[in-house]
A and B are shown apart, each in its own frame.
Chain A
């Protein structure tokens, strides 16, 4: 399969805690993106990190990228019940081909 792997597959935390999910990909990339998918809804873009960047922040999101290990992590700080969703990384090689990971299903308990 072309798909990247995400770890853990499922994560359950209490509201206010931080959530960390990891993604590994297989090919060299131009950039990597993270998407969120709520149950029964489409995917929504969260954040992009380029191959020459190591860390990126957006609000409560922090993304890191280690191209030598072909891995990325997404940290959500001070989680809320509304963060309950599946999170996918998407690696982009070339100019347009997106390879999505298998996803992490996050559940935030109120």
Chain B
């Protein structure tokens, strides 16, 4: 399967714990996005990477959130000191700069539950 993959698919954690999610984009895609989606809502933009550079970070992201894309391939999203309000689906998407349809390819998401 050459689509976007995310790991883990589900994560249950206790409040105050740290969690890390991984995203593997489509191999030739240089753009990578993280979104958060809560029930009944559309995805909310969190951050964007072009290659290894993090070009934008949403004001939604507190300093407990950090994302990296060290070699311009896979990316990680870490949440420190999790809170119950962090419970959501975390989606990763990748895209190829210059593609005619400018479409994003989404992974299946990581569902986080903070108890």
Binding site for B on A (CB under 8 A): 2-4, 6, 31, 33, 35, 41-45, 48, 88, 90, 92, 96-103
* Known contacts A45-B101, A103-B42; is-contact A96 B106 (Cβ 8 Å): no
> Which residue of chain B lies nearest to A40 when distances are taken between CB atoms in the complex?
B108
B16 at the interface (CB under 8 A from A): no
Chain A residues, Cβ within 8 Å of B69: none
Contact with A along B94-115 (1 / 0, CB 8 A): 0000000111111111000000
CB within 8 Å: A-B pair count: 60
* CB-contact partner of A48 in B35, B103, B105, under 8 A: B103
Distance to closest chain B CB from A76 (angstroms): 18
Q: Is the interface on chain B under 10, 10 to 19, 20 to 34, or 35 or more residues?
A: 20 to 34
Which of chain B's residues have a CB closer than 8 A to the CB of A97?
Answer: 45, 48, 56
Closest residue of chain A to B43 (Cβ to Cβ) is: A100
Which residues of the partner chain A approach B50 to less than 8 Å between Cβ atoms?
A: 96
- Given contacts A42-B106, A42-B108, A48-B102, A88 and B43 within 8 Å (CB-CB): yes
- Bound Cα distance A43, B35 (Å): 12
Verify B43–A45 contact, CB threshold 8 A: no
CB distance A43 to B102 under 8 Å? no
Contact of A43 among B40, B41, B55, B91 (CB under 8 A): B91
Q: Judging by beta carbons under 8 Å apart, are A33 and B103 in contact?
A: yes
Chain A: minimal CB distance from B73 (Å): 18
